[in-house]
Amino acid sequence: MYYVVTGACGFIGANLVKGLNERGITDIIAVDNLTKADKFLNLTDCEIADYIDKSEFLDLIESGQLDGGVAAILHEGACSDTMETDGRYMMANNYRYSLALLDFCQEQEIPLLYASSASVYGDGGVFREEREFEAPLNVYGYSKFLFDQIVRRRLAGADSQIAGFRYFNVYGPREQHKGRMASVAFHHFNQYRAAGKVKLFEGYGGYGNGEQRRDFVYVGDVVKANMDFLESRASGIYNLGTGRAQSFNELAAATVNACRALEGKPAQSVAELVAQGVIEYIPFPDALKGKYQSFTEADLAQLRGVGYKDVFATVEEGVADYVKWLAR
């Protein structure tokens, strides 16, 4: 029996493959689209049984060739570019593909753990897994939102586990292939190494310079949660963040100070870094106005309610670990 990880060469997918390996699981089918071939680097230290292109995999499940051979699907594959404007592609890739996997898992009575997104909440101030708080701002968010609605309708009559995770701002190892869509921590590390400073947006949406706040969650914590749910078999849609909003200023300072620690230098405050020009503010992009979440903070009541007890890393803890990995 194989564990299937879609988006296996991507950021969270590759970390899940590594997480399965660390638990002794190597019978893994890695599913992805390697049109951008460099993503393969994320799996070079992982053990898998096979690699299948995402289109071929869909053909295999629809033709019945994998019937009885799959233990669980961890579905991370998606177009995650929030600036993507091709709605037809986004819906086919993120929504229709997910529906096919859901149908297969229910027919086979096997678990489906899948990636949703905090983008379903839009710019509202309440981040609770309830319909009244959901209003996505872009087609990426809508593709995730719509699949969540299908899952909600099917949960009561489901024959096997369905667990969706609304990821907040995930950062950590194996995201270098994402380019401009990589985490702010990744970009800050590279900016500081290249120019000795990092760039943040000026004030927007009622927030001061660099004071927009997000729930930044370390990818290692995301892996822990997925592994826990594979064992617990709990179903539902759950926020997966830290439950703690921190500012981009705090994130920038954490990244710079982690770099300074590697140089044997003491930590500095946000005010000190701003005064020295190490943190620099740039105009808020017109293209993001009206499509940007200035504040996110996961409500973890439902996640804790099904017994998930692990403590999530703070930005300072997670970024320190991440910077060590990036500086290898």
Tens digit of each residue's pLDDT (9 = 90 or more) over 76-130 = 998 777 667 778 988 888 999 999 999 999 999 999 999 999 999 998 889 999 9
Average pLDDT, the chain: 95
Predicted local confidence at residue 199, as pLDDT: 97
Assign 3-class secondary structure to 266-315: CCCCHHHHHHCCCEEEECCCHHHCCCCCCECCCCCHHHHHCCCCCCCCCH
As a whole-number percent, the residues of the chain with pLDDT over 90 amount to 88
What does the pLDDT average to over 141-164?
A: 97
Q: Confidence class of residue 295 from pLDDT cuts 50, 70 and 90?
A: very high
Question: For residue 247, is pLDDT > 90?
Answer: yes
Predicted local confidence at residue 291, as pLDDT: 76
Tens digit of each residue's pLDDT (9 = 90 or more) over 77-91 = 987 776 677 789 888
Predicted local confidence at residue 90, as pLDDT: 85
pTM of the model: 0.95
What does the pLDDT average to over 199-211?
A: 95
Predicted local confidence at residue 290, as pLDDT: 79
Predicted local confidence at residue 87, as pLDDT: 85
Predicted local confidence at residue 57, as pLDDT: 97
| Cβ atoms of residues 48 and 28 within 8 Å | yes
Predicted local confidence at residue 287, as pLDDT: 86
Q: Distance of CA 296 to CAs 24, 45, 126, 144, 174, Å?
A: 35, 33, 8, 17, 23
* Out of 115-129, 188-202, 280-294, least confident range: 280-294
What does the pLDDT average to over 163-183?
A: 95
Predicted local confidence at residue 288, as pLDDT: 85
Q: Distance of CA 52 to CAs 4, 47, 61, 86, 242, Å?
A: 10, 14, 12, 25, 33
As a whole-number percent, the residues of the chain with pLDDT over 70 amount to 99
Q: Confidence class of residue 180 from pLDDT cuts 50, 70 and 90?
A: confident
User: Which positions are catalytic?
Assistant: 140, 178
- 273: nearest Cα among 196, 194, 216, 327: 196
Q: Give one word for 280, left, alpha or beta, with left for phi > 0 and alpha for psi -120 to 50.
A: beta
Q: How many angstroms separate the CA atoms of 19 and 24, rounded? A: 9
Tell me the sheet residues that pair with 28.
3
Q: How many angstroms separate the CA atoms of 254 and 269, rounded? A: 9
What does the pLDDT average to over 189-197?
A: 97
Tens digit of each residue's pLDDT (9 = 90 or more) over 10-55 = 999 999 999 999 999 999 999 999 998 999 999 999 999 999 999 9
